Protein backbone atom coordinates (compact mmCIF):
# COMPACT_ATOMS: atom_id res chain seq x y z
CA UNK A 1 0.00 0.00 0.00
CA UNK A 2 1.42 3.37 -0.98
CA UNK A 3 1.78 6.26 1.45
CA UNK A 4 -0.89 8.13 -0.50
CA UNK A 5 -3.36 5.37 0.18
CA UNK A 6 -2.53 5.09 3.87
CA UNK A 7 -2.89 8.79 4.62
CA UNK A 8 -6.67 9.05 4.12
CA UNK A 9 -7.14 5.91 6.23
CA UNK A 10 -5.17 7.48 9.07
CA UNK A 11 -7.24 10.64 8.81
CA UNK A 12 -10.40 8.55 8.90
CA UNK A 13 -9.18 6.72 12.01
CA UNK A 14 -8.27 9.99 13.71
CA UNK A 15 -11.69 11.46 12.90
CA UNK A 16 -13.38 8.33 14.19
CA UNK A 17 -11.44 8.54 17.45
CA UNK A 18 -12.47 12.13 18.03
CA UNK A 19 -16.08 11.22 17.24
CA UNK A 20 -16.06 8.36 19.73
CA UNK A 21 -14.63 10.62 22.41
CA UNK A 22 -17.37 13.14 21.69
CA UNK A 23 -20.05 10.49 21.82
CA UNK A 24 -18.71 9.21 25.15
CA UNK A 25 -18.80 12.75 26.46
CA UNK A 26 -22.35 13.14 25.21
CA UNK A 27 -23.59 10.04 27.01
CA UNK A 28 -21.93 11.15 30.21
CA UNK A 29 -23.55 14.55 30.29
CA UNK A 30 -26.53 13.67 28.12
CA UNK A 31 -26.12 17.09 26.58
CA UNK A 32 -28.26 18.24 23.69
CA UNK A 33 -25.96 21.15 23.02
CA UNK A 34 -22.73 19.28 23.56
CA UNK A 35 -21.96 19.06 19.85
CA UNK A 36 -20.52 22.54 19.80
CA UNK A 37 -19.29 22.39 23.39
CA UNK A 38 -17.34 19.29 22.42
CA UNK A 39 -15.52 21.10 19.66
CA UNK A 40 -14.53 23.73 22.20
CA UNK A 41 -13.49 21.08 24.71
CA UNK A 42 -11.14 19.31 22.31
CA UNK A 43 -9.62 22.59 21.18
CA UNK A 44 -8.58 23.87 24.60
CA UNK A 45 -9.24 21.03 27.09
CA UNK A 46 -10.68 23.37 29.78
CA UNK A 47 -14.43 23.81 30.22
CA UNK A 48 -16.13 25.10 27.05
CA UNK A 49 -16.39 28.90 27.04
CA UNK A 50 -19.70 30.75 27.30
CA UNK A 51 -21.20 30.99 23.82
CA UNK A 52 -24.13 32.66 22.05
CA UNK A 53 -27.25 30.53 22.21
CA UNK A 54 -28.18 28.81 18.94
CA UNK A 55 -31.62 27.57 17.87
CA UNK A 56 -33.10 24.85 20.11
CA UNK A 57 -32.97 21.22 18.93
CA UNK A 58 -36.24 20.06 17.35
CA UNK A 59 -36.92 16.30 17.53
CA UNK A 60 -37.55 14.89 14.03
CA UNK A 61 -40.74 13.15 15.20
CA UNK A 62 -42.34 16.33 16.55
CA UNK A 63 -41.78 19.03 13.95
CA UNK A 64 -42.78 22.62 14.70
CA UNK A 65 -45.79 24.00 12.80
CA UNK A 66 -47.66 27.26 13.55
CA UNK A 67 -50.96 25.40 14.14
CA UNK A 68 -49.32 22.93 16.54
CA UNK A 69 -47.56 25.69 18.45
CA UNK A 70 -50.83 27.64 18.80
CA UNK A 71 -52.64 24.53 20.05
CA UNK A 72 -49.82 23.87 22.52
CA UNK A 73 -50.04 27.43 23.78
CA UNK A 74 -53.77 27.14 24.54
CA UNK A 75 -53.25 23.78 26.25
CA UNK A 76 -50.39 25.17 28.33
CA UNK A 77 -52.74 27.79 29.76
CA UNK A 78 -55.76 25.45 30.12
CA UNK A 79 -56.30 24.15 33.68
CA UNK A 80 -58.63 21.45 32.36
CA UNK A 81 -55.41 19.49 31.69
CA UNK A 82 -55.20 18.49 35.33
CA UNK A 83 -57.20 16.78 38.05
CA UNK A 84 -59.98 19.12 39.17
CA UNK A 85 -59.48 21.63 36.33
CA UNK A 86 -57.83 24.11 38.70
CA UNK A 87 -54.14 23.51 38.08
CA UNK A 88 -52.65 23.61 34.59
CA UNK A 89 -49.12 24.23 33.39
CA UNK A 90 -49.31 28.01 33.61
CA UNK A 91 -50.64 27.82 37.17
CA UNK A 92 -47.10 27.08 38.38
CA UNK A 93 -45.33 28.60 35.37
CA UNK A 94 -46.79 32.11 35.34
CA UNK A 95 -45.37 34.29 32.55
CA UNK A 96 -45.11 37.24 34.93
CA UNK A 97 -43.30 35.14 37.56
CA UNK A 98 -40.48 34.23 35.18
CA UNK A 99 -42.60 31.38 33.75
CA UNK A 100 -42.12 29.82 37.17
CA UNK A 101 -43.56 30.39 40.65
CA UNK A 102 -41.98 33.07 42.82
CA UNK A 103 -41.83 31.13 46.11
CA UNK A 104 -39.19 28.79 47.49
CA UNK A 105 -41.33 25.67 46.91
CA UNK A 106 -43.76 25.83 44.03
CA UNK A 107 -47.44 25.98 44.80
CA UNK A 108 -48.95 22.50 44.49
CA UNK A 109 -52.18 20.83 43.51
CA UNK A 110 -54.97 22.15 45.80
CA UNK A 111 -54.38 20.77 49.29
CA UNK A 112 -50.67 20.25 48.71
CA UNK A 113 -47.51 22.25 48.32
CA UNK A 114 -44.83 21.11 45.85
CA UNK A 115 -41.48 20.01 47.24
CA UNK A 116 -39.20 21.75 44.74
CA UNK A 117 -38.76 25.18 43.28
CA UNK A 118 -40.66 25.67 40.02
CA UNK A 119 -38.29 25.88 37.07
CA UNK A 120 -38.69 28.40 34.30
CA UNK A 121 -40.01 27.18 30.94
CA UNK A 122 -37.79 29.70 29.13
CA UNK A 123 -34.98 27.76 27.37
CA UNK A 124 -36.13 24.43 28.85
CA UNK A 125 -36.05 23.16 25.24
CA UNK A 126 -32.25 22.99 25.30
CA UNK A 127 -31.83 20.50 28.11
CA UNK A 128 -31.25 16.87 27.20
CA UNK A 129 -33.03 15.97 30.43
CA UNK A 130 -35.62 18.02 32.29
CA UNK A 131 -36.30 18.60 36.00
CA UNK A 132 -33.88 19.43 38.80
CA UNK A 133 -32.69 15.83 38.94
CA UNK A 134 -32.98 15.20 35.19
CA UNK A 135 -35.65 12.55 35.64
CA UNK A 136 -37.22 12.86 32.17
CA UNK A 137 -35.49 12.76 28.75
CA UNK A 138 -37.66 15.21 26.77
CA UNK A 139 -40.35 17.87 26.95
CA UNK A 140 -42.78 15.36 25.43
CA UNK A 141 -42.19 13.08 28.44
CA UNK A 142 -42.05 15.94 30.91
CA UNK A 143 -45.57 17.26 30.22
CA UNK A 144 -47.54 14.13 31.22
CA UNK A 145 -45.42 13.69 34.31
CA UNK A 146 -46.35 17.26 35.34
CA UNK A 147 -50.03 16.99 34.45
CA UNK A 148 -50.39 13.67 36.31
CA UNK A 149 -47.99 14.11 39.24
CA UNK A 150 -49.69 13.94 42.65
CA UNK A 151 -48.49 17.35 43.88
CA UNK A 152 -48.62 19.01 40.43
CA UNK A 153 -51.55 18.57 38.00
CA UNK A 154 -52.87 15.34 39.55
CA UNK A 155 -54.83 14.52 36.36
CA UNK A 156 -55.94 11.19 34.89
CA UNK A 157 -55.24 10.54 31.21
CA UNK A 158 -58.73 9.31 30.36
CA UNK A 159 -60.60 12.13 32.03
CA UNK A 160 -58.31 14.79 30.56
CA UNK A 161 -58.75 13.23 27.11
CA UNK A 162 -62.54 13.13 27.57
CA UNK A 163 -62.56 16.80 28.45
CA UNK A 164 -60.66 17.63 25.25
CA UNK A 165 -63.16 15.60 23.23
CA UNK A 166 -66.02 17.67 24.65
CA UNK A 167 -64.48 20.92 23.47
CA UNK A 168 -65.29 21.48 19.77
CA UNK A 169 -62.53 24.07 19.45
CA UNK A 170 -59.97 21.43 20.46
CA UNK A 171 -61.51 18.71 18.27
CA UNK A 172 -61.07 21.01 15.30
CA UNK A 173 -57.49 21.94 16.16
CA UNK A 174 -56.36 18.38 16.98
CA UNK A 175 -57.82 17.16 13.68
CA UNK A 176 -56.04 19.92 11.79
CA UNK A 177 -52.69 19.32 13.48
CA UNK A 178 -52.66 15.55 14.09
CA UNK A 179 -55.32 14.31 11.66
CA UNK A 180 -57.28 12.46 14.36
CA UNK A 181 -61.07 12.44 14.67
CA UNK A 182 -60.75 12.79 18.47
CA UNK A 183 -58.00 14.43 20.49
CA UNK A 184 -55.41 11.98 21.85
CA UNK A 185 -53.81 12.91 25.14
CA UNK A 186 -50.32 12.01 23.84
CA UNK A 187 -50.75 14.58 21.08
CA UNK A 188 -51.60 17.21 23.70
CA UNK A 189 -48.14 16.69 25.26
CA UNK A 190 -46.52 16.93 21.82
CA UNK A 191 -48.27 20.23 21.10
CA UNK A 192 -47.27 21.63 24.50
CA UNK A 193 -43.65 20.61 23.86
CA UNK A 194 -43.75 22.38 20.49
CA UNK A 195 -45.04 25.55 22.18
CA UNK A 196 -42.33 25.34 24.84
CA UNK A 197 -39.68 25.18 22.09
CA UNK A 198 -40.71 28.70 21.08
CA UNK A 199 -40.03 30.05 24.58
CA UNK A 200 -36.35 30.75 24.08
CA UNK A 201 -34.26 33.85 24.67
CA UNK A 202 -31.23 34.35 22.46
CA UNK A 203 -30.72 38.12 22.45
CA UNK A 204 -29.37 38.82 25.91
CA UNK A 205 -26.61 41.40 26.48
CA UNK A 206 -24.22 38.44 26.82
CA UNK A 207 -25.24 36.99 23.42
CA UNK A 208 -24.80 40.40 21.81
CA UNK A 209 -21.40 40.82 23.42
CA UNK A 210 -20.22 37.38 22.37
CA UNK A 211 -21.43 38.06 18.83
CA UNK A 212 -19.17 41.08 18.67
CA UNK A 213 -21.08 44.04 20.13
CA UNK A 214 -18.51 45.12 22.69
CA UNK A 215 -20.84 47.83 24.04
CA UNK A 216 -23.45 45.29 25.09
CA UNK A 217 -21.76 44.80 28.49
CA UNK A 218 -20.74 47.52 30.94
CA UNK A 219 -17.15 47.79 32.11
CA UNK A 220 -18.28 46.36 35.48
CA UNK A 221 -19.91 43.38 33.74
CA UNK A 222 -16.75 42.70 31.74
CA UNK A 223 -14.83 42.58 35.02
CA UNK A 224 -17.51 40.28 36.44
CA UNK A 225 -17.12 38.01 33.42
CA UNK A 226 -13.39 37.71 34.09
CA UNK A 227 -14.18 36.61 37.64
CA UNK A 228 -16.82 34.17 36.37
CA UNK A 229 -14.25 32.60 34.05
CA UNK A 230 -11.37 32.87 36.52
CA UNK A 231 -11.16 33.48 40.26
CA UNK A 232 -14.81 32.59 41.02
CA UNK A 233 -14.66 29.40 38.91
CA UNK A 234 -18.33 29.49 37.87
CA UNK A 235 -17.37 28.46 34.31
CA UNK A 236 -16.38 25.00 35.55
CA UNK A 237 -20.06 24.03 35.58
CA UNK A 238 -21.98 26.97 34.10
CA UNK A 239 -20.45 26.80 30.63
CA UNK A 240 -21.23 26.62 26.93
CA UNK A 241 -24.29 28.12 25.24
CA UNK A 242 -26.68 27.39 28.06
CA UNK A 243 -24.26 28.26 30.87
CA UNK A 244 -24.89 24.73 32.08
CA UNK A 245 -22.82 21.58 31.57
CA UNK A 246 -26.04 19.62 32.26
CA UNK A 247 -24.17 17.53 34.78
CA UNK A 248 -25.17 16.84 38.40
CA UNK A 249 -23.44 18.18 41.52
CA UNK A 250 -23.96 18.62 45.21
CA UNK A 251 -22.85 22.22 45.70
CA UNK A 252 -23.79 22.43 49.38
CA UNK A 253 -27.33 23.86 49.23
CA UNK A 254 -28.72 23.47 52.78
CA UNK A 255 -32.15 21.89 53.37
CA UNK A 256 -35.13 24.25 53.35
CA UNK A 257 -36.25 24.91 56.94
CA UNK A 258 -39.86 24.69 55.77
CA UNK A 259 -39.55 20.91 56.07
CA UNK A 260 -39.01 21.33 59.81
CA UNK A 261 -41.71 23.94 60.30
CA UNK A 262 -44.50 23.42 57.76
CA UNK A 263 -46.62 20.28 58.15
CA UNK A 264 -47.98 20.37 54.61
CA UNK A 265 -44.47 20.65 53.14
CA UNK A 266 -43.44 17.68 55.31
CA UNK A 267 -46.39 15.63 54.01
CA UNK A 268 -45.27 16.26 50.41
CA UNK A 269 -41.68 15.42 51.26
CA UNK A 270 -42.60 12.08 52.89
CA UNK A 271 -44.95 11.30 49.99
CA UNK A 272 -42.21 11.95 47.42
CA UNK A 273 -39.69 9.79 49.30
CA UNK A 274 -42.23 6.98 49.41
CA UNK A 275 -43.39 7.40 45.81
CA UNK A 276 -39.81 7.39 44.50
CA UNK A 277 -39.02 4.06 46.16
CA UNK A 278 -36.92 5.16 49.14
CA UNK A 279 -35.76 2.33 51.40
CA UNK A 280 -37.61 1.89 54.71
CA UNK A 281 -34.62 3.24 56.65
CA UNK A 282 -34.16 6.12 54.21
CA UNK A 283 -37.83 6.98 54.47
CA UNK A 284 -37.55 7.28 58.25
CA UNK A 285 -34.24 9.15 58.43
CA UNK A 286 -33.83 11.33 55.31
CA UNK A 287 -33.97 15.03 56.19
CA UNK A 288 -33.30 16.59 52.78
CA UNK A 289 -34.03 16.11 49.09
CA UNK A 290 -31.69 13.38 47.76
CA UNK A 291 -32.13 14.69 44.16
CA UNK A 292 -30.12 12.78 41.56
CA UNK A 293 -29.93 9.81 43.96
CA UNK A 294 -33.40 8.78 42.81
CA UNK A 295 -32.09 8.15 39.30
CA UNK A 296 -29.64 5.35 40.11
CA UNK A 297 -30.06 4.91 43.90
CA UNK A 298 -26.31 5.45 44.38
CA UNK A 299 -25.52 6.94 47.80
CA UNK A 300 -22.80 9.13 46.24
CA UNK A 301 -25.48 10.94 44.22
CA UNK A 302 -27.44 12.20 47.24
CA UNK A 303 -27.94 15.94 47.16
CA UNK A 304 -26.85 16.31 43.52
CA UNK A 305 -28.90 18.41 41.12
CA UNK A 306 -28.58 19.41 37.48
CA UNK A 307 -26.53 22.54 36.87
CA UNK A 308 -29.23 25.05 35.88
CA UNK A 309 -28.78 27.53 33.07
CA UNK A 310 -28.07 31.06 34.27
CA UNK A 311 -30.11 32.49 31.41
CA UNK A 312 -33.31 34.38 32.30
CA UNK A 313 -32.46 34.21 36.02
CA UNK A 314 -33.16 37.95 36.43
CA UNK A 315 -36.84 36.92 36.46
CA UNK A 316 -36.80 33.54 38.22
CA UNK A 317 -35.96 34.18 41.88
CA UNK A 318 -35.87 32.42 44.28
CA UNK A 319 -32.98 30.16 43.32
CA UNK A 320 -31.81 26.54 43.75
CA UNK A 321 -33.86 23.31 43.77
CA UNK A 322 -35.48 24.34 47.05
CA UNK A 323 -35.63 28.08 46.39
CA UNK A 324 -33.53 28.82 49.42
CA UNK A 325 -31.91 32.04 48.11
CA UNK A 326 -34.01 35.02 47.10
CA UNK A 327 -31.35 37.26 45.54
CA UNK A 328 -28.24 36.88 43.38
CA UNK A 329 -26.27 38.58 46.15
CA UNK A 330 -27.25 35.71 48.45
CA UNK A 331 -26.21 33.17 45.82
CA UNK A 332 -22.81 34.79 45.32
CA UNK A 333 -22.26 35.03 49.10
CA UNK A 334 -23.13 31.34 49.36
CA UNK A 335 -20.49 30.40 46.78
CA UNK A 336 -17.98 32.84 48.25
CA UNK A 337 -18.27 31.06 51.64
CA UNK A 338 -17.58 27.73 49.93
CA UNK A 339 -21.16 26.46 49.81
CA UNK A 340 -22.49 27.65 53.18
CA UNK A 341 -25.44 29.94 53.97
CA UNK A 342 -25.17 32.88 56.36
CA UNK A 343 -25.82 30.59 59.34
CA UNK A 344 -23.01 28.27 58.28
CA UNK A 345 -25.41 25.55 57.12
CA UNK A 346 -24.56 23.32 54.18
CA UNK A 347 -25.93 20.20 52.45
CA UNK A 348 -27.30 17.35 54.56
CA UNK A 349 -25.15 15.03 52.39
CA UNK A 350 -21.82 16.78 53.02
CA UNK A 351 -19.84 13.68 52.01
CA UNK A 352 -21.01 14.26 48.42
CA UNK A 353 -20.22 17.95 48.22
CA UNK A 354 -18.29 18.82 45.07
CA UNK A 355 -14.57 19.52 45.50
CA UNK A 356 -15.03 22.35 43.02
CA UNK A 357 -16.96 24.33 45.64
CA UNK A 358 -14.57 26.11 48.01
CA UNK A 359 -14.16 29.56 49.58
CA UNK A 360 -13.45 32.05 46.80
CA UNK A 361 -12.02 35.02 48.71
CA UNK A 362 -13.92 37.59 46.61
CA UNK A 363 -13.84 41.20 47.82
CA UNK A 364 -17.08 43.18 48.12
CA UNK A 365 -16.31 44.93 44.85
CA UNK A 366 -15.65 41.63 43.09
CA UNK A 367 -18.93 40.23 44.37
CA UNK A 368 -20.75 43.28 42.97
CA UNK A 369 -19.03 42.87 39.62
CA UNK A 370 -19.98 39.22 39.48
CA UNK A 371 -23.64 39.99 40.32
CA UNK A 372 -23.65 42.69 37.61
CA UNK A 373 -22.35 40.15 35.10
CA UNK A 374 -25.01 37.60 36.06
CA UNK A 375 -27.63 40.15 34.92
CA UNK A 376 -26.19 39.95 31.40
CA UNK A 377 -27.61 36.41 31.07
CA UNK A 378 -31.11 37.91 30.85
CA UNK A 379 -32.66 40.08 28.14
CA UNK A 380 -36.13 41.61 28.17
CA UNK A 381 -38.83 39.98 30.27
CA UNK A 382 -40.92 37.66 28.07
CA UNK A 383 -44.55 38.29 28.94
CA UNK A 384 -47.60 36.72 27.30
CA UNK A 385 -51.36 37.23 27.50
CA UNK A 386 -53.36 34.18 28.43
CA UNK A 387 -55.14 32.99 25.24
CA UNK A 388 -58.93 32.61 25.09
CA UNK A 389 -60.07 29.14 26.17
CA UNK A 390 -62.40 27.16 23.88
CA UNK A 391 -65.69 26.20 25.58
CA UNK A 392 -67.24 22.83 26.40
CA UNK A 393 -70.16 21.60 24.33
CA UNK A 394 -71.88 18.20 24.15
CA UNK A 395 -70.48 15.84 21.52
CA UNK A 396 -73.81 16.10 19.65
CA UNK A 397 -77.06 18.00 20.17
CA UNK A 398 -80.39 16.38 21.00
CA UNK A 399 -81.59 17.11 17.44
CA UNK A 400 -78.51 15.41 15.96
CA UNK A 401 -79.06 12.40 18.22
CA UNK A 402 -82.72 12.08 17.20
CA UNK A 403 -81.86 12.44 13.54
CA UNK A 404 -79.26 9.68 13.86
CA UNK A 405 -81.75 7.40 15.64
CA UNK A 406 -84.36 7.96 12.95
CA UNK A 407 -81.87 7.00 10.25
CA UNK A 408 -81.35 3.57 11.90
C1 LIG B 1 -48.17 22.38 40.77
C2 LIG B 1 -47.14 23.12 40.07
C3 LIG B 1 -46.76 22.71 38.67
C4 LIG B 1 -47.59 22.39 37.62
C5 LIG B 1 -49.10 22.26 37.60
C6 LIG B 1 -46.72 22.18 36.48
N7 LIG B 1 -45.43 22.37 36.84
FE8 LIG B 1 -43.80 22.27 35.63
N9 LIG B 1 -42.58 22.34 37.22
C10 LIG B 1 -42.99 22.56 38.52
C11 LIG B 1 -41.87 22.30 39.41
C12 LIG B 1 -41.91 22.44 40.93
C13 LIG B 1 -40.79 21.88 38.60
C14 LIG B 1 -39.45 21.32 39.11
C15 LIG B 1 -39.81 19.91 39.63
C16 LIG B 1 -38.67 18.93 39.81
O17 LIG B 1 -37.57 19.14 39.33
O18 LIG B 1 -38.88 17.89 40.43
C19 LIG B 1 -41.26 21.95 37.23
C20 LIG B 1 -40.47 21.68 36.12
C21 LIG B 1 -40.92 21.82 34.80
C22 LIG B 1 -40.07 21.73 33.62
C23 LIG B 1 -38.59 21.43 33.60
C24 LIG B 1 -37.73 22.61 33.21
C25 LIG B 1 -36.26 22.26 33.20
O26 LIG B 1 -35.43 23.17 33.34
O27 LIG B 1 -35.89 21.08 33.03
C28 LIG B 1 -40.89 21.91 32.53
C29 LIG B 1 -40.48 21.90 31.07
C30 LIG B 1 -42.24 22.08 33.03
N31 LIG B 1 -42.21 22.05 34.41
C32 LIG B 1 -43.36 22.19 32.23
C33 LIG B 1 -44.66 22.00 32.73
C34 LIG B 1 -45.80 21.70 31.90
C35 LIG B 1 -45.78 21.54 30.39
C36 LIG B 1 -46.87 21.57 32.73
C37 LIG B 1 -48.31 21.22 32.37
C38 LIG B 1 -48.53 19.98 31.70
C39 LIG B 1 -46.38 21.82 34.09
N40 LIG B 1 -45.03 22.04 34.04
C41 LIG B 1 -47.17 21.82 35.22
C42 LIG B 1 -44.25 22.94 38.92
C43 LIG B 1 -45.39 22.68 38.17
C1 LIG C 1 -19.53 22.42 40.75
C2 LIG C 1 -20.38 23.01 39.74
C3 LIG C 1 -20.81 24.46 39.95
C4 LIG C 1 -20.03 25.58 40.12
C5 LIG C 1 -18.51 25.66 40.17
C6 LIG C 1 -20.94 26.69 40.23
N7 LIG C 1 -22.23 26.24 40.12
FE8 LIG C 1 -23.90 27.40 40.24
N9 LIG C 1 -25.03 25.73 40.30
C10 LIG C 1 -24.58 24.43 40.17
C11 LIG C 1 -25.65 23.50 40.51
C12 LIG C 1 -25.56 21.99 40.48
C13 LIG C 1 -26.75 24.29 40.88
C14 LIG C 1 -28.11 23.78 41.41
C15 LIG C 1 -27.87 23.35 42.86
C16 LIG C 1 -29.11 23.01 43.68
O17 LIG C 1 -30.21 23.44 43.36
O18 LIG C 1 -28.92 22.29 44.68
C19 LIG C 1 -26.34 25.68 40.70
C20 LIG C 1 -27.18 26.78 40.88
C21 LIG C 1 -26.81 28.09 40.60
C22 LIG C 1 -27.72 29.21 40.56
C23 LIG C 1 -29.26 29.13 40.74
C24 LIG C 1 -29.96 29.13 39.41
C25 LIG C 1 -31.44 28.83 39.51
O26 LIG C 1 -32.10 28.85 38.46
O27 LIG C 1 -31.94 28.52 40.60
C28 LIG C 1 -26.99 30.33 40.29
C29 LIG C 1 -27.52 31.73 40.12
C30 LIG C 1 -25.62 29.90 40.17
N31 LIG C 1 -25.56 28.54 40.36
C32 LIG C 1 -24.55 30.74 39.94
C33 LIG C 1 -23.22 30.34 40.06
C34 LIG C 1 -22.12 31.25 40.17
C35 LIG C 1 -22.23 32.76 40.13
C36 LIG C 1 -21.00 30.49 40.32
C37 LIG C 1 -19.58 30.95 40.55
C38 LIG C 1 -19.38 31.73 41.76
C39 LIG C 1 -21.41 29.09 40.30
N40 LIG C 1 -22.76 29.06 40.15
C41 LIG C 1 -20.55 28.00 40.41
C42 LIG C 1 -23.31 24.06 39.82
C43 LIG C 1 -22.20 24.89 39.96
227, 356: one domain: yes
Which atom of ligand 2 sits closest to the CA of residue 120?
Answer: 26
Please tell me the predicted confidence (pLDDT) of residue 30.
37
Out of 9-13, 27-31, 350-354, the most confident range is 350-354
Shortest CA distance to 384 belongs to which of 176, 142, 77, 157? 77
138, 242: one domain: no
Overall domain count for the chain: 3
342, 309: one domain: yes
Model confidence at 19: pLDDT above 60: no
Shortest CA distance to 377 belongs to which of 235, 205, 225, 259? 205
Higher pLDDT, 195 or 5: 195
The answer to the question of residue 50 being in a domain is no
Q: Would residue 212 be called left, alpha or beta, if left means φ above 0 and alpha means ψ between -120 and 50 degrees?
A: left
Model confidence at 10: pLDDT above 70: no
Residues within 6 Å of ligand 1 by CB: 81, 87-89, 91-93, 106-109, 114, 116, 118-119, 121, 124, 127, 130-132, 139, 142-143, 146-147, 152-153, 192, 196
How far out from the chain centre does Cα 397 lie?
A: 44
The answer to the question of residue 53 being in a domain is no
Model confidence at 39: pLDDT above 60: no
The answer to the question of residue 280 being in a domain is yes
93, 195: one domain: yes
Contact assessment for residue 103 and residue 318, using Cβ atoms and an 8 Å cutoff: yes
The answer to the question of residue 49 being in a domain is no
96, 235: one domain: no
Which of 30-34, 109-113, 297-301, 368-372 has the weakest average pLDDT? Answer: 30-34
Q: Which residues contact 384 (CB under 8 A, 6 or more apart)?
A: 95
Domain of 213 in residue numbering reads as 205-375
The answer to the question of residue 327 being in a domain is yes
Q: Find the mean pLDDT for residues 198-223.
A: 98
Q: Look at ligand 2, atom 13, and give the residue with the nearest C-alpha.
A: 307
pLDDT band at 43 (very low <50, low <70, confident <90, very high): low
Model pLDDT for residues 320-372, shown as the tens digit of each residue: 999 999 999 999 999 999 999 999 999 999 999 999 999 999 999 999 999 99
How far out from the chain centre does Cα 371 lie?
A: 22
Higher pLDDT, 249 or 27: 249
In sequence order, what DSSP letters do the residues of 31-85 get, joined into one string? -TTHHHHHHHHHHHSSSPPP----PPP--TTS---HHHHHHHHHHHH-TTSSSSS
Please tell me the predicted confidence (pLDDT) of residue 335.
98
Please tell me the predicted confidence (pLDDT) of residue 198.
98
164, 287: one domain: no
272, 158: one domain: no
Q: Please provide residue 344's backbone torsions phi and psi, each rounded to the nearest 5 degrees.
A: 80, 15
* Partners of residue 304 on adjacent β-strands: 291
For residue 314, the SS3 value is helix
Model pLDDT for residues 362-400, shown as the tens digit of each residue: 999 999 999 999 999 999 999 999 999 999 998 888 999
322, 355: one domain: yes
Please tell me the predicted confidence (pLDDT) of residue 303.
98
Which atom of ligand 1 sits closest to the CA of residue 106?
Answer: 12
Q: Find the mean pLDDT for residues 203-228.
A: 98
CA angle 197, 136, 286 (to 5 degrees): 135
Give me ligand 1 centre to Cα 127, in Å.
14
Which atom of ligand 2 sits closest to the CA of residue 313?
Answer: 26
pLDDT band at 44 (very low <50, low <70, confident <90, very high): low
Contacts by residues 91-100 (CB-CB < 8 Å, ≥ 24 positions apart):
92/118, 92/152, 93/118, 93/120, 93/121, 95/382, 95/383, 95/384, 96/381, 96/383, 97/315, 98/122, 98/312, 98/315, 98/316, 98/317, 99/199, 99/315, 99/316, 99/382, 100/316
Higher pLDDT, 318 or 4: 318
Other Cβ atoms within 10 Å of 211 Cβ, number: 12
Q: Find the mean pLDDT for residues 101-126.
A: 97
Residues within 6 Å of ligand 2 by CB: 232-234, 236-238, 249, 251, 253, 305, 307-308, 310, 313, 316, 319-321, 331-332, 335, 354, 356-357, 374
The answer to the question of residue 404 being in a domain is no
Please tell me the predicted confidence (pLDDT) of residue 66.
98
Please tell me the predicted confidence (pLDDT) of residue 395.
86
In sequence order, what DSSP letters do the residues of 137-176 get, joined into one string? SSHHHHHHHHHH-TTTT---HHHHHHHHHT-HHHHHHHHH
Burial (CB < 10 A; 0-12, 13-18, 19+), residue 57, is middle
350, 216: one domain: yes
Which of 3-7, 95-99, 151-155, 171-175 has the weakest average pLDDT? Answer: 3-7
* Partners of residue 130 on adjacent β-strands: 136
The answer to the question of residue 393 being in a domain is yes
Model pLDDT for residues 133-145, shown as the tens digit of each residue: 999 999 999 999 9
190, 237: one domain: no
Q: What percent of the chain has pLDDT over 90?
A: 87
80, 19: one domain: no
Shortest CA distance to 349 belongs to which of 279, 296, 292, 288? 288
Global pTM exceeds 0.75: yes
Total residues belonging to the chain: 408
Best residue among 87, 146, 191, 306 to mutate for probing ligand 1's pocket (most ligand atoms within 8 Å of CB) is 146
Higher pLDDT, 103 or 29: 103
Contact assessment for residue 292 and residue 248, using Cβ atoms and an 8 Å cutoff: yes
- CA-CA distance, 268 to 116, in Å (whole number)? 10
In sequence order, what DSSP letters do the residues of 345-392 get, joined into one string? ---TTGGGB-TT-------HHHHHHHHHHHHTT--S----PPPPPPPP
* Partners of residue 100 on adjacent β-strands: 94
For residue 224, the SS3 value is helix
Give me ligand 1 centre to Cα 75, in Å.
14
Q: What percent of the chain has pLDDT over 70?
A: 89
Average pLDDT, rounded, for the chain: 91
Model pLDDT for residues 54-92, shown as the tens digit of each residue: 999 999 999 999 999 999 999 999 999 999 999 999 999
Please tell me the predicted confidence (pLDDT) of residue 11.
38
Model confidence at 28: pLDDT above 60: no
Contact assessment for residue 153 and residue 147, using Cβ atoms and an 8 Å cutoff: yes
192, 220: one domain: no
Best residue among 93, 101, 225, 234 to mutate for probing ligand 2's pocket (most ligand atoms within 8 Å of CB) is 234
Best residue among 331, 368, 372, 375 to mutate for probing ligand 2's pocket (most ligand atoms within 8 Å of CB) is 331
Please tell me the predicted confidence (pLDDT) of residue 25.
38
What CATH number did the domain enclosing 336 receive?
Answer: 1.10.760.10
Higher pLDDT, 14 or 94: 94
Q: Look at ligand 2, atom 34, and give the residue with the nearest C-alpha.
A: 234
The answer to the question of residue 278 being in a domain is yes
Amino acid sequence: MSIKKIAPTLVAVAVATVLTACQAQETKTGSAVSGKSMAAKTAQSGPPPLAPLGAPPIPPDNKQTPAKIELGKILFFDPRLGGDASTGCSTCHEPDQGWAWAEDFSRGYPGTVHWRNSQTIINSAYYARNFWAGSVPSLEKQAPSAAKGGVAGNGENDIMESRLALIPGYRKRFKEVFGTEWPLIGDAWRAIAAFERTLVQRDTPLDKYLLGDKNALTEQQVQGMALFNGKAGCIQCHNGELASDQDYYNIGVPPNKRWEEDGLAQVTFRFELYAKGMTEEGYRTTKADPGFYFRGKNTWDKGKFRTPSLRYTAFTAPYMHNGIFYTMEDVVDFYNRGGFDEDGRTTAFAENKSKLIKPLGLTDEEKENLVAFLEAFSGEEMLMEKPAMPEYAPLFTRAELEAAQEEK
